[in-house]
Structure 1
């Protein structure tokens, strides 16, 4: 492959940090090693620098304030961190409102996420007791990240986007297509349908852990190309999904593969994916 395009910036829009030695992350119990360990900014700093990443966005890893305030403490002292996707209890309006007002004091908070993919109801984000809090997010210039792992999640995204046309929605991990099985439908049709809503964006992230063991970037090509055809580059962004990504690769290998899969696009399209979409969708304060 020819030399990769070198953009002015590269934003890693989906990085996790967690420290089970200090706080509880219940879902880690099911994974054990290597994920059930401390992953702090010092553990990824060299990889971020070597990859040429200029800015990062930290994304909530569990539904607790402990997790959010840990990320905010990192953002306050690590210059490369430009955004934090925080947690609020979306179904508890009064409490969530107070949390959003508090987060408004921080320039780092750029979005909200809950671990909706672990909830029994795949349409949880459409519940009446969630409606008011989600309706408040645009007032705070906050995006809503949505984890989509089953068809009902993508259907929910489309309906949510219709209900809240002023809300910026970000679908994480390309809605986890079944790459390992070369699966296509209903993922492809549902993703295209969600993309018809102009307030919906998508991340190229987490594809290696949806792939067969000996994956290459070519395995991702049809899925990323479909996303480009559906969303356009100006609603696509890139994320490492570190350290979850280490289940099927290392930071450098996964990031390079993601660069290769978009390396066939024009420089203008790559600039969108590398940084322009992220700056707009997350309202990042980047000079």
Structure 2
């Protein structure tokens, strides 16, 4: 097995698990985050020490797991941008949800310094990230894939190779996020609708996963509502951002996406009600509040 020296930027719920998977696969892994406690925690579990400017020229791969395009660009090309310090032949794996055109621009700018860029958005959730079992929707040159392969093997159960140009991975991620966001909102709507008809959340979770109306998001998120536990594994605040990106892309394509617009409105309302930091299943509270039903409390 080829081991690499890898830096990962962003030690949130997804990034921390990805960093742990890289470490577990034997890679020398540096973890960086704006939260010093996360960095210290990772180093306490075996993460390599060293400041990013000092080690950037030595790394084989940089994994960027930040919030959005603006943060990605800042990490790569901002005042303290990493790409200018990276060696030729190294690779950036960019994992945030971003517009395809942005991914193509980042790839072109990286190429100017001889650094490869893999458009590599991720899916699977925090648990799969920690298990090295993510799905990664990737696109880039053959050289970018080759340079990124050891990191991909450590972090992902499935790597979908979607083409030799950056942007295709981000396009597929937009399709996935459209469905995922709509499914969460639809789950919340159906669960609370059921409550108005005497169907308890507990019974909903027992029956619907065995019926045609189920979805992965329903089976994953509805139990959070039943438990009354909104600890954020994926927060409400993710969805105004991601569905906003999806709708921006849709507008550029002349595509209306009315169902996605309706789902986005529910997440925006949840955020406006102060639920943005809660698990995204908390969008059910918007529906519950509209009809006056009481969701389960955490026991």
How would you bin the TM-score normalised by the shorter chain? 0.3 to 0.5
The structure with more radius of gyration: 2
Q: TM-score, normalised by structure 1?
A: 0.32
Q: TM-score, normalised by structure 2?
A: 0.31
